[in-house]
Structure 1
């Protein structure tokens, strides 16, 4: 094996960490956006259905009917779009990307520097790469704006740990 294989594995792990960081934050942004839609549809639906019922008993059938129509539209949107499910799916994907990023970082920072054999390091990297590929295929798509918001936050240092801000590591 090439003598610089450990350095190349380290570089590939850094790429993986960066990809996972961007994907995780984009999924969390998508989750937040869908959770907001869930509340935007759900809360008015509850309020309108309660008000429609009360209005019906006070003998305002046109107002009650209008509110019931609004409830029907909001409920249909909730059923069709499933914002709660989408929020949960993106949150789960974001969590999985963060876990993979953490595994890659720990492997790169600790195990790779512990004198691991090149063949074992290569196999471990391949395993992490396979996990990333499977996660990329299984995750729901996020919007371009979710990604751009994630990139902007990452570029602003939002995803750095305090130790990385205070004591930046010099790669050896």
Structure 2
């Protein structure tokens, strides 16, 4: 495992914990303000309510699979070309989306912990399976399946490129 991948995993772990803890603190502050701050002039006029449930939004959202399918196709096309700028753009995009997905999962985790502590709601991760698949896909696209890694295949990269260009639309239909 390369140092870049290890650094990315560290960033993902820190992002997950930070967003889960921040969400938990934010939700408890909203709860406390709603309970005890309703009579205060500035707080009483604010519409304090719990944020909407994020699990259905993430589970039924087609943005992440669509972005993954387009990224696979773009990676295939970029393998046919030789452009360092395109390589870096796709690598940065894959890493950024990986971090954003992790941040969203941290928010959902913090929200689930809040619901567990305040309402005794059960924690169900099965609706998040598509999000975990998207996270794994972008993690692979930012590490083992990144353009710099695939360029080391020599002329075999052209076969991989054609495969990725064909796989992109198939992923869009499958996911």
Q: Please give the TM-score of this superposition, normalised by the length of structure 1.
A: 0.41
- Higher-Rg member (1/2): 1
Structure ranking higher in helix proportion: 1
